[in-house]
Amino acid sequence: RMFPTFQVKLYGMDPQADFMLMMDFVPVDNKRYRYAFHSSSWMVAGKADPNMPPRIHVHPESPSKGAQWMKQVVSFDKLKLTNNQLDDNGHIILNSMHRYQPRCHVVYVNAKGEDASKTENFRTFIFPETKFTAVTAYQNHRITQLKIASNPFAKGFRDCDVEDWAVPTGVAEMLSHHLPSAKLPKVHSRPASIQQLLGVGHTGAFTKSEKDDDAE
């Protein structure tokens, strides 16, 4: 599963209308990276690998009323990532050691008989602070400690208090920052249409997690 989990607080939705929430990931650049342990930093290691097949993760509570989405923090904790190009489990496929930008899409579900052409049926929200490098194993042991500290089922792995751990400054700032709000979007690389967003005419796929999906 993706860690840290992407969470967002939504405002300004029509409480009685139905909406779907979706997420996808777009490459930040055309580079591949490696982690330099001597400097504890990421360095460019070459040209990016070919892009993986595009997929969109649909939040398992979609569609829901606007009132339901706005009632509490929305967590994409069912979202799973993989680097397996042959994945048939509906996970989001990414290249390891490449940088990605998550995008959150709020899609308005037109009421029965409503003219879809008269409504703006989706908005895309991008939060630059959520960019990340996809890895198959954590390159920084402090990130491993942070994940253990955040996992309620990992109590047996904790050999000291969380307060004693040195959390990387960037991660600490990100986690201590207020949850991103969809009220003030930073929209870059916004899809031009819902068809473009959903990959109509492209080899893509939807992914929708099951509510009873087992934790990894």
Within a domain: 215: no
**pLDDT tens for each residue of 162-191:** 343 333 333 334 333 333 444 433 334 556
| Half-sphere exposure at residue 136, Cβ-oriented, CA atoms within 13 angstroms | 7
The answer, yes or no, to whether residue 213 has pLDDT greater than 60, is: no
Helices (H), the chain: 66-71, 141-150, 169-176, 194-198
Its pTM surpasses 0.85: no
Instruction: Please give the average per-residue pLDDT across 29-42, as a whole number.
Output: 92
CATH number at residue 54: 2.60.40.820
Within a domain: 201: no
- Residue 150's pLDDT is 79
Within a domain: 59: yes
Residue-number span of the structural domain to which 73 is assigned = 7-136+184-195
Coil, strand or helix: which one is 17? coil
In this prediction, residue 116 has a pLDDT band, given cuts at 50, 70 and 90, of low
- Cα 35 to Cα 82, 100, 152, distances in angstroms: 19, 16, 29
- Residue 118's pLDDT is 58
Instruction: Please give the average per-residue pLDDT across 138-162, as a whole number.
Output: 67
Two tokens, residue 137: 């194993």
Instruction: Please give the average per-residue pLDDT across 100-120, as a whole number.
Output: 81
Instruction: Please give the average per-residue pLDDT across 138-146, as a whole number.
Output: 79
The answer, yes or no, to whether residue 124 has pLDDT greater than 60, is: yes
- Residue 40's pLDDT is 85
Within a domain: 163: no
Mean pLDDT estimate for the chain = 77
Within a domain: 86: yes
Within a domain: 1: no
| Count of domains observed in the chain | 1
The answer, yes or no, to whether residue 98 has pLDDT greater than 80, is: yes
Residue 172, C-beta contacts closer than 8 angstroms, at least 6 positions apart: none
Report the phi/psi class of residue 97: left, alpha or beta, with left for phi > 0 and alpha for psi in -120 to 50. Answer: left
Residue 52, C-beta contacts closer than 8 angstroms, at least 6 positions apart: 83, 85, 93, 94, 95
Within a domain: 23: yes
Higher per-residue pLDDT: 18 or 187: 18
Q: Which of 10-24, 45-59, 103-117, 128-142 has the lowest mean pLDDT?
A: 103-117
Within a domain: 213: no
Buried b (16+ CB within 10 A) or exposed e, 128-152: eebebbbbeeebeeebebbebeeee
- Residue 203's pLDDT is 40
